[in-house]
Structure 1
Amino acid sequence: LFALLVSFTLILFRREQQEWRRNEQLTSANNYLDVMKRCRQLLLDLELRFDSDKPTLHANYFDAYAKLLCPWKAEEKALSILEFGIGGFGDEKKGGGDLLTWAEFFPSAHVIVGVDISKKSFHVPPNVKMIQVNQTNEMAIRKICKHHGPFDLIVDDASHMCDDTITTFKLIWHCLKSESIYILEDTQSSYSNTASCSKGVNANWTSINFFKRLIDENNFAKIEKSTGDANFEWSAYAKKLTGIHFYHNLLIITKG
C-alpha cells in the first residue's frame, strides 16, 4: 500500500511538473509576443512622428521589420546603418523620416548614413550622416563603405528604377557584415513602366526577377549535386546568402 501511495504521488508530481513547464513556456511565449507587439508599435509610432509615408502606404512592412529588427533593439547593438533615399524628393528641407526613426529606435547605433541624389540640409543627431550622391556612383559608394561600413542594415528606398536597384545591390553586397540584413522597399515598381524597367512579369532584368534568381543561388550547393547541371553559374552572393524573404512590395535578404 505504501509503495502504491508513493508511486501515485510521483505520478502526480510529474504531472504537476509537466503542467508547470507548459505554463512557463506559454507565459514565455506570451511575453515574447507582447514584447514584439509593443516593439512593432514603437516603430510604427516613430515613423508617424517623423512624417514617414510607411504607416499609411506600407503598414504591412512593420510585421517583418519587428521580427528582424526588434531583437537587435533588445540587444542594444551599436549598429551601422545605411539607407539609400532620404525622402522629400528634391526639397532640401524635407525628408529624413527613416533616418530619424532609426536614430530613435536604435539609440546605441554607431552610425546612420543616408544617401540621396538631392542635397539635404536639416538638423539630425550627431551619429546621422547625410551624403548627396547617386546611388549607383561606384567610387562614392565604395568610399562610403570604407569610411562608415561595413553595415549591419542596408535599406534601399531610393529611385526604385530596376537598373539602379540591381546595380546598388551589387555595389553594396560586400559592404554588409556577416549576420546582416538588406531591405528593398517598394518592389511593386518592378512591374511599373514608370520605373523604366518593366516589360512584363517575365522580363529578364526586372528587380524582382533578379532577386528571384538568388533563390536558386541560395541552394547552389544542391543544384549541381542533385541535377548534374554543371552549367549553372552562381554569383558572388550565393555562398553568403542565408535567407530571401518576399513580402507584399518588400524584399528582405539576410547575409551570413
Structure 2
Amino acid sequence: MTATTPVRLADALVRAAGGPGRELPDALDAIGLDAAAATAVTDLVARCGLPANPDEAVIGVAVLHRGERVDYLLRLARGAEVRSERADERAEAPCRLVFELADLVVAMYGSRPPLPAGTHRLERLDDWFMTNGDPQDPFRIIESYMKATSTVLAAVSSAGRDLNALAARHVADKWGLWHWFTPHYDRHFSRLRHEHVRVLEIGIGGYRDPDVGGGSLRVWRDYFTRGQIFGVDVFAKNGLDEERIKTVRGSQDDPEFLRALAAEHGPFDIVIDDGSHINGHVLTTFRELYGHVRNGGFYVVEDLWTAYAPGYGGQATSSAGEGTSIGLLKSVVDALHYEEWTSPDEGADAPDHAASAVGLHVYRNIAFIEKGVNAEGRIPSFAPRTVDYY
C-alpha cells in the first residue's frame, strides 16, 4: 500500500483502525510511522477546541511503533488555534503524551467505542513546574497545563469527554496532568446523571486558602443536572454555597461530626473521599459514612497511592495491608464473599458492610464500592466442597 496524499493516508488509517486488530500492526507498517503519525497528529490538532488555559502551554506528543519514535510539540494559547511542529525527542516539554501508534489510531479512527483510559503514558517534568510558576500565583501554571492537556486528550478520544471538559473548565484535578479519574467516574456515574442524586465529596480543595477550591463541586453540579452537591472540608471556604451546592466545615476524622453530617444531609447516592488522604482518616470516614449510601449508589476513595506513603500513615511496602486504604479494599473483597466463608462461626464476624457491598472496581489510585443487597445465598450445600472428580 502506498498512500501519497493526506486524504488517502487518513482513509488508510480509518480502514486499518476498523479492521481486525491482529492485522493492524502490519497495516501500519505499510503506511509507515512518519506518515501515519503526521496524519494523526494533524487530525488531532484540527479536532482540538480552542484552548482555555490561562497561559501558553507546550505539550509534547510522542508516537511509537516497533521501536521507532516521532515527536511533536503542540503549542496551546487561550482562544487561539493549536499549533504543532515536528520536534526532537529531547525538546523540552513540561508534559509529554506518549502513544503507541496502534493505540492512537484506534482511539481516533476506530469503529468500536474507545477505551476510557489506558491509551497513553504521561511524562511530566515536576521540577519544571516548581521553578517556572509565579510565586504570587503558583497554581496558575498547573491550571494552564491541566486545561491544555485536557484539550489535547479530548481530541484523541470521545471517552468521558464531557466530564473531562467539565474538570478542565472548573480546574478540578480529576483529569489532566496527574490524575485521570473522569473516564472512570463517567463509566460508573452515567446512569445516575439525570437523577435527583445527593452527592457528598470530602475535601473541597485549596488547603488553608478560604478563597481557593470548589472545582470538583462545580463539576458535579454541572454533571448531575438535577443533583444536590455537598462538600466538606476541615478549612473554611468562601463563596461556594449556591442553589445546588452546600459546604460544611468539619473533620473527616471526627466520627461525631460525620454522624451529624449524615443525619442532616443524607442519605447520599454518592460519597467521594478526596479529603486528607491520611489512611486513618480514610478508614474513619468509610466506617461512619458507608452505611449512609443508598442502594444503587457508590462509595469512592481517591488517591490510593498514600497507602504506600508513611507520611500519610501508609506503609513502605509493595503490599499495603491493614490500616491503609488498600487494606480496606482487600477486606471488601473478602466481605463480598461472606456467605461463602467456611470459618467455624459461619460469617458471624463479617463486617457491617458485607451484606451491602455488591461490587468493587479498582483502578489506578481510585476505587468504587458499589452499594446494594449482597445476600444471594451461598453456593448450595450439595455442591462438593472438595475436589473428588479427577
After superposition, residues 165-204 of structure 1 pair within 5 angstroms as 165-200=282-317, 201-204=319-322
The higher relative CO (CA closer than 8 Å, separation ≥ 6) is in: 1
Structure 1 residues 112 and 202, CA, compared in 2 at 3 Å: closer, same or farther?
A: closer
In the TM superposition, residue 138 of structure 1 has moved relative to its aligned partner by 1.8
Q: Provide the residue aligned with 2:171 in structure 1.
A: 51
Q: List per-residue Cα deviations over 1:5-37 (Å, max 9, x = no partner).
A: xxxxxxxxxxxxxxxxxxxxxxxxx99949x97
CA contact (8 A) 2:313 2:324 kept: no
Match of 2:191 among 71, 74, 89: 71
Q: List per-residue Cα deviations over 1:32-91 (Å, max 9, x = no partner).
A: 949x97571111111111111222245532222111111212xx1000010000001111
- d(CA) in 1 for partners of 2:180 and 2:230? 25
- d(CA) in 2 for partners of 1:183 and 1:229? 33
CA contact (8 A) 1:152 1:177 kept: yes
1:135 maps to amino acid? Q
CA contact (8 A) 2:253 2:281 kept: yes
1:92 to 2:223 alignment: no
- Per the normalisation by structure 1, the TM-score is 0.79
For structure 2, the 5+ residue unaligned runs are: 1-109, 117-156, 373-390
For structure 1, the 5+ residue unaligned runs are: 1-29
CA contact (8 A) 1:179 1:254 kept: yes
SS of match in other structure, 1:174: helix
CA contact (8 A) 2:308 2:320 kept: no
Match of 2:360 among 231, 239, 244: 244
Structure with the largest fraction of helix: 1
- d(CA) in 1 for partners of 2:266 and 2:231? 13
Q: Provide the residue aligned with 2:267 in structure 1.
A: 150
SS of match in other structure, 1:237: helix
CA contact (8 A) 2:320 2:326 kept: no
CA contact (8 A) 1:112 1:127 kept: yes
Q: List per-residue Cα deviations over 1:85-122 (Å, max 9, x = no partner).
A: 0001111000001000000111211x211000000002
- d(CA) in 2 for partners of 1:239 and 1:123? 37
- d(CA) in 1 for partners of 2:112 and 2:239? 38
- d(CA) in 2 for partners of 1:49 and 1:213? 37
Structure 1 residues 90 and 32, CA, compared in 2 at 3 Å: closer, same or farther?
A: farther
CA contact (8 A) 1:145 1:175 kept: yes
Structure 1 residues 31 and 108, CA, compared in 2 at 3 Å: closer, same or farther?
A: farther
Structure 1 residue runs of 4 or more that deviate by more than 3 Å after TM superposition: 30-34, 36-39, 57-60, 228-232
CA contact (8 A) 1:103 1:125 kept: no
Identity %: 26
- d(CA) in 2 for partners of 1:32 and 1:114? 37
1:137 to 2:254 alignment: yes
In the TM superposition, residue 139 of structure 1 has moved relative to its aligned partner by 2.0
Q: Provide the residue aligned with 2:334 in structure 1.
A: 216
SS of match in other structure, 1:115: strand
1:253 to 2:373 alignment: no
Which is further off, 160-169 or 55-64?
A: 55-64
Q: List per-residue Cα deviations over 1:166-224 (Å, max 9, x = no partner).
A: 01000001211111101100001110122123253344322201220110110011122
Structure 1 residues 32 and 79, CA, compared in 2 at 3 Å: closer, same or farther?
A: farther
Q: Provide the residue aligned with 2:124 in structure 1.
A: none
CA contact (8 A) 2:314 2:320 kept: no
Q: For this pair of structures, how many residues does the alignment match?
A: 220
CA contact (8 A) 2:336 2:357 kept: yes
CA contact (8 A) 2:358 2:371 kept: yes
- d(CA) in 1 for partners of 2:320 and 2:185? 29
CA contact (8 A) 2:358 2:370 kept: yes
CA contact (8 A) 2:214 2:240 kept: no
